[in-house]
Chain A
Amino acid sequence: MSVLLEAKNVSKMFGGLKAVSNFNMTIDKGELVGLIGPNGAGKTTAFNLFTGVYQPTTGIISLDGQSLAGMKPSQITQRGIARTFQNIRLFSELTVLDNVKIAYHTHLNYNLIEAVLRVGRYMKQEREIEDNGRELLKIFKLEDKAGEIAKNLPYGAQRRLEIARALATRPQLLLLDEPAAGMNPQETKELMDMIRWIRKDFALSILLIEHDMSLVMGICERIYVLEYGSIIAQGIPDEIKKNPEVIRAYLGGEA
């Protein structure tokens, strides 16, 4: 399998604080990778570095062999990295369908004149994203809520909508920031099946941050463990479970 995302010796300083240091990670095409670590370890910072919200102080991040240095988040999304947010960031006053439609943004190429006169590619493409959007919502069991305002959805549905919206950008790599946060065990189990299924059906790679160990250990093929901005362990779930460094990081003191 070929490498999709590669981070080489990436560090990020906030003033004197080293949020992430000497971070190395590779994600292969089609792989499902987990990133875990105690609170404040730098997991979300790593996500923000991958998506261009922050620029690394040193080191290189590349997607499909091309460096992402200096790119804005929107450009990186166009290259094929999509994400969800730890604290849900939906377009909360808009309908569920409009939330998804916005995410098709980069796949529409009609120009301003076509848009204003509603001719040419406008009609065809608008109909396409309407249909595609509804289909996507169906997959996430949101089709009957298409016309509802996003902020009125129950919590679990909002999380699902965020994933649906990220998928609408048609990414190669999906970054999920604590997708199971606030979900009950039943919802978490459903989410697990959904993530597995998305990976297969959309043929993409997934990197997920999660605190729910049953989820991480259950679906991730490989896991990276971050503590104080450095990777202290990586490997398959069974190795991670037994790794004394990891146990120390999570439980403190000698294992």
Chain B
Amino acid sequence: MNALRKADLKAIIISLVVFVVLQALLSTNSLDAFWQLNIILICINIILSVSLNLINGYTGQFSLGHAGFMAIGAYTGAVLSVNFHMPFIVSLITSFVTAAIIGGLIGLPTMRLSGDYLAIATLGLGEIIRIVIMNVNYVGGAAGFMGIPRHTNFAWAFFVMLFVLFFIKNYVNSSYGRACVAIRENEIAAEAMGVNTTKYKVLAFTIGAGFAGVAGCLFAHTFYIIHPSSFTFLASFNYLIMVVMGGMGSITGSIAGAFILTTVSALLSNWPELRMSIYALILIALMFYRPQGLFGNIEITSLPVLKRFKGGKQK
């Protein structure tokens, strides 16, 4: 117990140090506007990849609809901030709740499917969400929703990200997370061990969708405008790639995946035609040499080499 708390404490200290350093860089304007934006984007993408990892990596349910839930959160938050002048925190929480409820409602029927069928169903549902939004004039339809206040700064993005990491890390290390992993490993055996598989699949899907909604809300308040085209299935694939690249079932992996891919895509933003090719090459190389992802299903805290840095990168 004390050991656990100690590791938590170290993690908190390290993340505070990271925060102070980055915040100092930002306040002294050492980073240009482009990178200031990308740091926030990294935090948002970490939330998305970690929450998707809960569904895809830990519970083993192949979902391709993450951008749809992100869209729900983004539009919920934007409407609350612009039309109802709610404080940012209210928008964030409502985004979570709305995306989680819709995620749960979608999860109940779709979680009866498995493998390819589930992937196709969630892909379709994600697109349905986007197309519905595109046809609602109240939120701007295909032209997008404009005039969203820029509430998201680095501090908001970073601490919301920390909260999500904290939540999911403790979730997967509890009986809830063990139930998820058991479902991934062998659904029939999980059921025979008394795990209500439907319940835990839907729960993981609900929580994952909720946090995608939170990420969407942060995303909406980063830019002045949101647009349905930001939430296509290509975006869902992008988050999936982060999860696969980092390693299914590793939080550290998702952090690394989101960090690397966001950074690479930012670095290559001046050469858009090169960007996708290099992106693809990285993935092909990864699948050849490390198909289980950078971290497999291992956390950085349990790597023997880094044992003495326990609590390390697990911000």
Contacts and interface: CB of A to CB of B under 8 A. Distances in A.
Interface stretch (A20-28, A99-107, A214-222, A223-231): A99-107
Interface stretch (B34-42, B88-96, B168-176, B229-237): B168-176
A55 interface: no
A123 B1 contact: yes
B178 interface: yes
Nearest to A171: B194
A92 interface: yes
A103 B175 CA distance: 10
A54 interface: no
A74 B194 contact: yes
Interface in A70-122: 72-75, 77-78, 82-83, 85, 89-94, 98, 101-106, 108, 110, 112, 115-118, 122
Contact of B175 (A82, A91, A105, A127): A105
Interface in B130-188: 166-167, 170-171, 174-176, 178-179, 181-182, 185-186, 188
B4 interface: yes
Contacts, number: 93
Contact of B192 (A83, A108, A115): A83
Main secondary structure of the interface of A (DSSP, over half): helix
Which of A116, A123, A166 has the most chain B CB atoms inside 10 A of its CB? Answer: A116
Contacts of B191: 72-74, 77
A74 B197 contact: yes
Main secondary structure of the interface of B (DSSP, over half): helix
Q: How large is the interface on A (under 10, 10 to 19, 20 to 34, 35 or more residues)?
A: 35 or more
A93 B181 CA distance: 10
Contacts of B175: 104-105, 108, 110, 115
21 contacts: A74-B191, A75-B196, A77-B193, A90-B185, A90-B189, A98-B178, A102-B178, A104-B175, A105-B193, A105-B195, A110-B175, A115-B176, A116-B171, A118-B4, A118-B8, A118-B170, A122-B174, A123-B1, A165-B193, A166-B192, A169-B194
A74 B195 contact: yes
Interface string B192-222: 1111110000000000000000000000000
